[in-house]
């Protein structure tokens, strides 16, 4: 388990597994974190309620619902994935 930690101290900060987060995989990265700087703020996550019926996405493919969605910090996540991190610190909204 490799964790990308935030410098900012927050009483509700916790660790999230990146593979279980729903975020936009846009490929944008943060150069400062890539060059070794610390992540300053934790990501912000919202808990989702799963649908009772199966949902479908584009072209009729099955939609896989995850428990959490990232509201702020998708660039930090894509950077963490590129650096080989499996977990990231964040807070619930």
pTM metric for this prediction: 0.83
Q: Which domains does the chain have, with CATH numbers?
A: 3-92 (3.90.1530)
C-alpha count within 13 angstroms, C-beta hemisphere, residue 20:
10
Q: What does the angle CA 1 – CA 78 – CA 6 come to, to the nearest 5 degrees?
A: 60
Q: Write out pLDDT tens, residues 54-63.
A: 888 888 888 8
pLDDT for res 60:
86
User: What is the mean pLDDT, run by run of 10 residues, along the chain of 93 residues?
Assistant: 93 94 88 92 92 85 86 94 95 94
Which DSSP category does 7 fall into?
S
Please report which residue ranges of the chain form alpha helices under DSSP H. 31-34, 74-82
* Among the listed residues 43, 19, 21, the one whose alpha carbon sits nearest the alpha carbon of residue 93: 43
How far, in Å, are 5, 6, 14 from residue 10 at the CA level?
12, 9, 9
pLDDT for res 19:
92
């Amino acid at each position: 388990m490799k964790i990308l930690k935030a410098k900012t101290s927050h009483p509700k900060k916790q660790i999230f597994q990146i593979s279980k987060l729903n975020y936009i995989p846009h490929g944008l990265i943060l150069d400062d974190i890539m060059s070794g700087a610390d992540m300053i703020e934790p990501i912000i996550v919202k808990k989702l309620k799963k649908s009772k019926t199966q949902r479908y996405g584009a072209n009729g493919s099955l939609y896989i619902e995850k428990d959490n969605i990232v509201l702020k910090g998708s660039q930090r996540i894509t950077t963490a994935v590129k650096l080989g991190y499996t977990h990231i610190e964040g807070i619930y909204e």
